[in-house]
């Protein structure tokens, strides 16, 4: 992919700060986004309605749409409504479901999208993927990445801690995803994109090594940047490879076998930690274990409410969730009995690193 193409896929603006939602006026007035203010603002119910009241003085001639459900049907319905007028841009304000619904609808009709994130639960705020439900099952759909990304730390701070914890798990799991990609490159000659690797790894490294807490602006800014860089890395290489490895396979397996166990980010974080142990990278294992533990994320199956045997079943099933992807799980091809042995060793090593 050419550097020009990569530049085109980079958001025009990335802003992470407090009060960003209240100050949307200058962004919406940016002529690169809308020459005449013909903008569709998409929000979710509840908090979204409060946000609209907060920003109404800055909206000008923009139209406001409320979406619910985070489903393909909701996105298609939104797309139909967007098609009734010629909009220069769609501005999605809210959490993951609202933003993914807006991304899908905007992509369907070729309208540029601006993300205004009020939570940091996953890397969807800037990724080329929309996670939506269809016929009762969640699926991933390719979409255009936003042309601008704004994160309001006031809303992030006031939201549930568990959403932010999930974002931490999703962001640091990129370290394992990149390692899995490099493994596929060494073993199978799989093409690898150095820029995508650098983007995904840089944000995750900064997060793992940040000493702050989820109540600190500096830490939240680093988390936001890590999630945004992870999303851009996927757009750069044209796939989810730099942000989805054995960690995500384990998360998908848990969703399939034991639905409702935990958030995607919590499961991906634990999956990344276990995969790093399987890889034998003890230094990275210690870094990830301390990071997850420090921020209150699960480091053991019990931390997610799973028994060891359930986790063994998920790890054994995980490669079936992405048969086209080569990770440490496919490389080792462990049987259930072998996973049990590795899990027992993992538990002992974990205690040593966290004592």
Q: What is the DSSP letter of 179?
A: H
Q: What is the pLDDT of residue 31?
A: 67
SS3 content of the chain, % helix, strand, coil (to 5): 60, 10, 30
- b/e sequence 319-329, b meaning 16+ C-beta within 10 Å: bebbeebbbbb
R_g (Cα) of the chain, nearest Å = 20
Pairing of strands 129-134, 137-142: antiparallel
Whether the CA torsion 135, 141, 147, 150 is positive or negative: it is positive
At residue 71, the 3 state secondary structure works out as strand
Q: How far is CA 258 from the centre of its chain?
A: 21
- With beta carbons less than 8 A apart as the criterion, state whether 303 and 354 touch: no
At residue 258, the 3 state secondary structure works out as coil
Q: What is the pLDDT of residue 167?
A: 97
- With beta carbons less than 8 A apart as the criterion, state whether 56 and 24 touch: no
- With beta carbons less than 8 A apart as the criterion, state whether 288 and 175 touch: yes
Q: What is the pLDDT of residue 61?
A: 76
d(CA 156, CA 120): 7
Tokens of residue 299, six digits: 């480091």
Q: How far is CA 324 from the centre of its chain?
A: 21
Q: What is the pLDDT of residue 138?
A: 81
Residue-wise pLDDT tens digits, 152-205: 999 999 889 999 999 999 999 999 999 999 999 999 999 999 999 999 999 999
Q: What is the pLDDT of residue 10?
A: 63
Query: What's the N-to-C CA distance of the chain in angstroms?
Result: 46
d(CA 236, CA 9): 7
Query: Cβ of 304: how many Cβ atoms within 10 Å?
Result: 21
Q: What is the pLDDT of residue 1?
A: 37
pLDDT in tens for each of the 355 residues of the chain?
Answer: 333 334 345 676 788 999 888 877 777 666 667 766 788 999 988 777 778 888 877 777 789 999 998 999 999 999 999 998 899 899 999 989 999 999 999 999 999 999 999 999 999 999 999 999 998 888 889 999 999 999 999 999 988 999 999 999 999 999 999 999 999 999 999 999 999 999 999 999 999 999 999 999 999 999 999 999 999 999 999 999 999 999 999 999 999 999 999 999 999 999 999 999 999 999 999 999 999 999 999 999 999 999 999 999 999 999 999 999 999 999 999 999 999 999 999 999 999 988 7
d(CA 66, CA 45): 6
- b/e sequence 149-187, b meaning 16+ C-beta within 10 Å: bbbbbebbeebeeebbbbbbbbbbbbbbbbbbbebbeee
Greatest alpha-carbon pair distance for the chain in Å reads 64
């Amino acid at each position: 992919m050419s550097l020009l193409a990569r530049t085109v896929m980079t958001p025009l603006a990335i802003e992470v700060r407090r009060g960003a939602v209240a100050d949307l006026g200058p962004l919406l007035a940016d002529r690169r986004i809308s020459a005449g203010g013909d903008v569709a603002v998409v929000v979710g119910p509840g908090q979204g309605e409060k946000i609209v009241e907060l920003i109404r003085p800055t909206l000008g001639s923009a139209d406001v749409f409320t979406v619910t459900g985070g489903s393909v049907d909701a996105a298609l319905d939104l797309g139909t409504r967007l098609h009734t007028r010629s909009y220069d841009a769609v501005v999605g304000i809210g959490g993951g479901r609202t933003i993914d619904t807006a991304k899908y609808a905007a992509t369907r009709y070729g309208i540029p999208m601006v993300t205004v994130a009020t939570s940091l639960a996953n890397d969807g705020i800037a990724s080329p993927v929309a996670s939506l439900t269809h016929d009762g099952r969640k699926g991933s759909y390719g979409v255009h990445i936003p042309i601008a990304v704004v994160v309001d730390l006031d809303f992030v701070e006031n939201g549930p801690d568990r959403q932010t914890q999930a974002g931490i798990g999703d962001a640091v799991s990129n370290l394992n995803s990149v390692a899995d990609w490099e493994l596929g490159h060494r073993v199978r000659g799989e093409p690898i994109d150095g820029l995508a690797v650098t983007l995904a790894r840089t944000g995750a490294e900064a997060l793992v090594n940040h000493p702050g807490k989820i109540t600190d602006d500096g830490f939240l800014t680093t988390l936001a940047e890590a999630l945004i860089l992870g999303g851009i890395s996927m757009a750069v290489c044209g796939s989810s490879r730099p942000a989805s490895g054995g960690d995500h396979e384990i998360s998908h397996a848990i969703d399939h076998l034991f639905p409702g166990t935990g958030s995607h980010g919590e499961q991906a974080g634990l999956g990344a930690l276990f995969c790093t142990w399987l890889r034998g990278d003890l230094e990275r294992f210690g870094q990830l274990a301390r990071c997850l533990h420090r921020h209150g994320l699960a480091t053991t199956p019990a931390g997610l409410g799973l028994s060891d045997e359930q986790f063994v079943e998920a790890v054994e099933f995980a490669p079936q969730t992405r048969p086209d992807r080569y990770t440490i799980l496919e490389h080792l091809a462990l049987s259930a009995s072998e996973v049990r042995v590795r899990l027992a060793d993992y538990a002992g090593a974990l205690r040593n690193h966290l004592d």
